[in-house]
Amino acid sequence: MPTLTGRSGAEPYFTRITSDTGHELVADEPLDKGGQNQGLTPGELLAASLSACVCITVRMYAQRKQWPLANVEAQVSFDRNEQHMVTRLDCVLQLAGELTDAQRQRLLRVAELCPIHKTLVSAIPISTQLA
């Protein structure tokens, strides 16, 4: 099972996240929330996961079909409530290339079948425990 580890020290909210595959990124909160604004917020990371997965899934599908997709962009915006819970995600898909209308519509449907999209619209059990 892939594992990501977040580590937070004395700096308020700044969190270094490492993967077991050797990758690293940082998360933080904005200055007005007491953070240092040195990385994406957790909500932005969630939106980034959806954006990346949509782009990758659409690209893979177009390559398998040998469709002339030159570029794909998935712009994801989100709303949060007072508890900072993400309550809505909106994804706008931009496709560049000599695609037919039917191909564009199919790629739109494929975008909604990406693993992160399917995960977010389902219920996910989460187990939290002390080490």
Which helix (H) or strand (E) segment is 126 a member of? none
Query: pLDDT digits over 68-126, tens only?
Result: 999 999 999 999 999 989 999 999 999 999 999 999 999 999 999 999 999 999 988 99
Torsion over CA: 116, 69, 92, 78 (sign):
positive
Checking if the pLDDT of 3 tops 90, the result is: yes
Query: pLDDT digits over 5-48, tens only?
Result: 999 999 899 999 999 999 999 999 999 999 999 999 999 999 99
What is residue 69's predicted lDDT score, i.e. its pLDDT?
A: 98
Q: For the chain, give the mean pLDDT.
A: 95
What is residue 64's predicted lDDT score, i.e. its pLDDT?
A: 98
Residue 94 to residue 102: CA distance in whole angstroms: 15
pLDDT confidence bin for 55, thresholds 50/70/90 = very high
What is residue 104's predicted lDDT score, i.e. its pLDDT?
A: 98
